[in-house]
Structure 1
Amino acid sequence: MSVLKNAADVLRCFGNDCPDLTVSDVVKRLGMPKANASRLLKAMREARMLETIGDTHRHRPGRLMLDLAAAYRRSSILIGRASEVVAGVSSSFGHTGYISVRDGQEVTAVADFQGTNTLRVVSNIGRRLPAHLSATGRSLLARLSEDEVLELYAGHRAMADLPAQLAKVRRQGYAYSSQEATPGVDAIAIAVADVLTDEAVSLCIVYPHALVDAEGRDQMIAALGTGAARIAEDLGDRAFVAPGFDRKDTLE
């Protein structure tokens, strides 16, 4: 079991800020003895979980991981339905869209749809963010009960503000962030779930702060909310709250 955990820890290192790893990187990031790190990466290469880049000592995720990622997306009706909605909204407004999932205190995008505007937010697929510090994360956390949030963030300094933030998300039906995860970038996010599989995803649109006014933002929230409401009805998500528009509440 420890080998599997160590392999998972290595895979979690990958992201936009870490596209490849060397043995030395693993030693530094995970505090693992060099000999152990070398053996682990070798075993992961042999299992096709990793592959080397050309003739270098740098490693990137292997073909097996790509196959698994594709299989994961195909196996989820919810991700498929959410992707249709976000792709449509992204195409209509020209801004980049994401489908994200939560893992504990983090969220990560599992699908993205590039915007068509000349000035647009680039893809952050695979980038992990603290859930409480992003619109996607707060939209998903708001689906938890207060007791579940308290257990998840027990002793965390986020609990000073998080309950009030999540209460607002539950009231509004969507989460909004302005230049929070990335300077100059705003985001709107709406979460929906499949009760049969107990999956929940966040449908998100990100856009340059300077290009979209409050009216434009509300139009995107309405479009995203309409699509999410259809998914909620079809998949039996009774906890879904359709977005409402109280601009004062949004901007507080």
Structure 2
Amino acid sequence: MTILENAALVLRCFGNNCTDLTVSEVSERLGLPKASASRLLKSMRETGMLEEIGGSRRHRPGRMMLNLSAAFRYSSGVIGRARAAVHELSQAFGHTGYVSIRDGRQVLAIADFEGTNALRVGASVGNKLPAERCATGRSLLARLAPAEVALLYPDGPVAERLASQLERIRRTGYSFSSQETTPGVDGLAVAVGDPVTSEAVSLCLVYPHNLVSEAERNTMIDAMLDSAGGIAEAVGDPLFRAAERRVPA
């Protein structure tokens, strides 16, 4: 591999469950000799990709990566619109909201907005989840054609169950998750995308399972579909649909 490819692999290691790395850890994760891992991290430090934490010999993402992250979030039309919409939804309903994107078979939050209710549900930016096991992931997978989904999930039982779930999401326009990733927490998600840039994002609200009635959930669904529909109209998303509301997906 080239040094650029190895640098990308190092950066992919960082997330909610990995905030810093040592030379030994990089060597083990990437299968590189320690000397090579040491040279790689040194080059990444010199270019601003990484920075050393004091004298601990542990490395974390550098300021260059923070600047790139900010540029990514604010340069994307659909991401910027989604951020504004989720912030408004979170304020309106008092529940934590977040914006997520898909990376293969995983999804990760790129922005979150803390709810105002006394009992809040947290959402961690950068935390990766299996796309098939959460509302945000399924809302984004539903934008793919069945043949594309089959390539991502060739394994029989999972693919069969997922196909049924995605078909309902395509019909209703939203995805529902009940206590799948976190006990006692439900989630609603709606995906929208920009056909020009091929970017797609999921707008999501998460809330305590026992504190939201069916009527309240239906009100949230309607509001989320209206917000996403406005984004879809603005960017010309041909895949967005908001039919048959209030059918758990």
**TM-score, length of structure 1 as denominator length:** 0.93
Instruction: Note the C-alpha offset of 1:85.
Output: 0.8
Query: 1:29 — aligned with what?
Result: 29
Summarize deviations over 1:133-160 as a string: whole Å, max 9, x none.
Answer: 1111110110111111112223476313
Query: 2:17 — aligned with what?
Result: 17
Query: 1:76 — aligned with what?
Result: 76
Structure 1 residue identity aligned to 2:190 = I
Structure 2 residue identity aligned to 1:160 = E
Cα distance in structure 1, aligned partners of 2:192 and 2:171? 15
Asked whether the equivalents of residues 174 and 243 of structure 1 are also in contact (C-alpha less than 8 Å), the reply is: no
Query: 1:112 — aligned with what?
Result: 112
Asked whether the equivalents of residues 222 and 243 of structure 1 are also in contact (C-alpha less than 8 Å), the reply is: no
Query: 2:179 — aligned with what?
Result: 179
Instruction: Note the C-alpha offset of 1:96.
Output: 1.0
Instruction: Note the C-alpha offset of 1:245.
Output: 2.9
Query: 1:240 — aligned with what?
Result: 240
Cα distance in structure 2, aligned partners of 1:21 and 1:118? 36
Structure 2 residue identity aligned to 1:31 = G
Larger mean CA deviation between 147-156 and 213-222 belongs to 147-156
Asked whether the equivalents of residues 221 and 243 of structure 1 are also in contact (C-alpha less than 8 Å), the reply is: no
Cα distance in structure 1, aligned partners of 2:123 and 2:161? 29
SS of corresponding position for 1:202: strand
Off by >4 Å, runs of 4+ in structure 1: none
Cα distance in structure 2, aligned partners of 1:242 and 1:64? 40
Cα distance in structure 2, aligned partners of 1:237 and 1:152? 23
Summarize deviations over 1:121-143 as a string: whole Å, max 9, x none.
Answer: 12310111111111111101101
Instruction: Note the C-alpha offset of 1:27.
Output: 2.8
Structure 2 residue identity aligned to 1:215 = A
Cα distance in structure 1, aligned partners of 2:121 and 2:35? 41
Asked whether the equivalents of residues 97 and 205 of structure 2 are also in contact (C-alpha less than 8 Å), the reply is: yes
Query: 1:62 — aligned with what?
Result: 62
Summarize deviations over 1:73-112 as a string: whole Å, max 9, x none.
Answer: 1111111111111000001111111111111111111111
Structure 2 residue identity aligned to 1:129 = L
Cα distance in structure 2, aligned partners of 1:243 and 1:188? 16
* Residue-pair matches, total: 249
Cα distance in structure 2, aligned partners of 1:78 and 1:122? 23
Instruction: Note the C-alpha offset of 1:213.
Output: 2.2
SS of corresponding position for 1:67: helix
SS of corresponding position for 1:110: strand
Larger mean CA deviation between 41-50 and 178-187 belongs to 178-187
Q: Which blocks of at least 5 consecutive residues in structure 1 are unaligned?
A: none
Query: 1:216 — aligned with what?
Result: 216
Q: Which blocks of at least 5 consecutive residues in structure 2 are unaligned?
A: none
**TM-score, length of structure 2 as denominator length:** 0.94
Query: 1:128 — aligned with what?
Result: 128
Asked whether the equivalents of residues 98 and 109 of structure 1 are also in contact (C-alpha less than 8 Å), the reply is: yes
What is the 5 A alignment of 1:137-152?
137-152=137-152
SS of corresponding position for 1:161: helix
Cα distance in structure 2, aligned partners of 1:188 and 1:246? 11
SS of corresponding position for 1:237: coil
Summarize deviations over 1:21-58 as a string: whole Å, max 9, x none.
Answer: 11222233333322222221111111110111122111
Paired-residue identity, %: 57
